[in-house]
Amino acid sequence: MPLVSKLQLPFERWPKEDRTRWDDAFREADIFDDDRRGTHLAEATRKALRVAYAQYLRFLSDNHPRLLAEAPEARINRNLMAKYVELLRKTHRDISVATSLHHLRMALRLTCPKADWSWLLTITKRIAASAPVRAKKYGQVSSAELYLLGLKLMDEATTETADQTEISEASALKYRDGMLIALLSLVAPRRRTAAALRIGKQLIKSGELWALTIPPEDVKGKRPLDFALSRNFCYHIDLYLQKYRQRIPGAGSHNGLWPSNKGGPMTANAIYGTVCKRTRKAFGFSVNPHRFRHAAGTLWSIEDPKNVRGVKDLLGHASYDKMTEPHYIMGQSRIAGRSLARAIDAATK
C-alpha cells in the first residue's frame, strides 16, 4: 500500500460514495461505453488528482466532519473553498495553491460530472494570475548548449578510454549520460518516455540510421511519436551500443537504452537525478528534463519563428494554442524533430 501524507485522508477512510465514484471513473471501458471519464489519463495524472481530492477530504474531516455524510457535490462551495485556500496558503506559494485547485477541479469533474465547476476554474485562474513570477535560471541555457554538453561528455569519455585497456564503468556512465542529454535536447521527450526506450522496440535501426518510434502508451498525450535521428547522432548511438553500454553492470540482462549501475534500466526518477547532476556541474544550476522541452521551444522560436507551431508535434501536444503557446513562446513529429535538429545545427556552428 502506498504511503499517504498526513495531509491526505487515506482512501479506506473516504466516504463510501466517494470511493465508489472514484473507482467507477477509472474502470476499464470498451469502445461502446460512453462513460470513459478517467480511462485516458496517465498514471501520474491520476495520482495527482487523487492527492488533491484526498487533501480536500482531509480538510473536511478535520474542520467540517459532518459534511462527509453529504453527497460529494454538496461538500464544496465558495465559502468552504475560501477557507481551504486560506489553509493552503499557510504552507504553499500561490502557484502551488493554484495547481492544487486545478487538480481538485479535475477530480471533481470525474466524481461529480453533472455539476458545474466553472466557478472553481475562475478562482484557480485568479490565484495563478496573482502569483509572483520568479526568475527562472533555466532560461539561461538553450537546446544548443545542452546538445553541446552531451557531445562534450561523450568526447571526454572517448578521450579517457583511449588510454584504458578496458573501459571503466565511470567512462561508460559518462558516455551514457552524454548521449542521454544530447537525445533530450534533440527530441525533448518527457522523462517517463525516455525511461521507456528499448533497443529494438522504440529505438529501431533502418539501414545505417537509427529512428525513434514511440507508441501511444509511452506518451502522456497518447499520441505516437516518430523521429528520424541525424547521421552524426546515429554514429554516437552505434559507438555507445558497441563499446560503452556493455560496460555498465547488468546491461546485458535487458534491452533498456539507459542501463543503470544497479542492474536494470534507469527509472524516470534516476534520469531526472542524473540530468540535474550533470547540468549543475556544467552550468552551475540544474536543468531538469522538463526544462529541455522549454529550451526546445525557445530555440525554435529564435531560429525558425515562421514554423514555430511545429514545436507542438515535437512535444506531443494535441494543439498549439491550448498547450504549447503558453509555455513555449505543422506537420508530423518526424518533420518537427528534423526542424529542431536544423535549429541546433544553426546555433552551434
Q: Choose the most confident range, by mean pLDDT, from 7-11, 171-175, 261-265.
A: 171-175
Of the candidates 10, 18, 15, 41, the residue with the CA atom closest to the CA atom of residue 28: 41
**144 or 37: which leads in pLDDT:** 144
| pLDDT reported for residue 329 | 35
- Domain of 152 in residue numbering reads as 137-348
Domain check: are 23 and 142 in the same one?
Answer: no
Is residue 311 within 8 A of residue 336, CB to CB? The reply is yes
Within this chain, do residues 119 and 157 fall inside the same structural domain, yes or no?
no
Residue 36 CA, distance from chain mean position? 23
Question: Average pLDDT of 325-346?
Answer: 48
The residue among 130, 163, 178 that closes a domain is 130
* Tally of domains in the chain: 2
Q: For residues 308-336, b (16+ Cβ closer than 10 Å) or e, as one string?
A: bbbbbbbbbbeebeeebbeebeeeebbbb
Same domain (yes/no): 105, 219: no
pLDDT value at position 327?
A: 39
- Strand, coil or helix: 316: coil
Based on the domain organization, do 296 and 172 belong to the same domain? yes
With H, G, I as helix, E, B as strand and everything else as coil, classify residue 111.
Answer: helix
Residue 5 within any structural domain of the chain: no
Is 6 within a domain?
A: no
Q: With the C-alpha atoms ordered 250, 288, 312, 46, is the resulting torsion angle positive or negative?
A: positive
pLDDT by residue (tens digit) across 221-248? Answer: 667 777 788 888 999 999 999 999 999 9
Alpha-carbon distances, residue 220 vs 26, 75, 268 (angstroms): 16, 31, 13
DSSP code, position 320: I
- Which candidate, 169, 160, 49, places its Cα nearest to that of 110? 49
Per residue in 47-87, pLDDT (tens digit) is 889 999 999 999 999 999 999 999 999 999 999 999 999 99
Taking CB atoms within 8 Å and a gap of at least 24, the contacts of 34-37 are 37/109, 37/110, 37/113
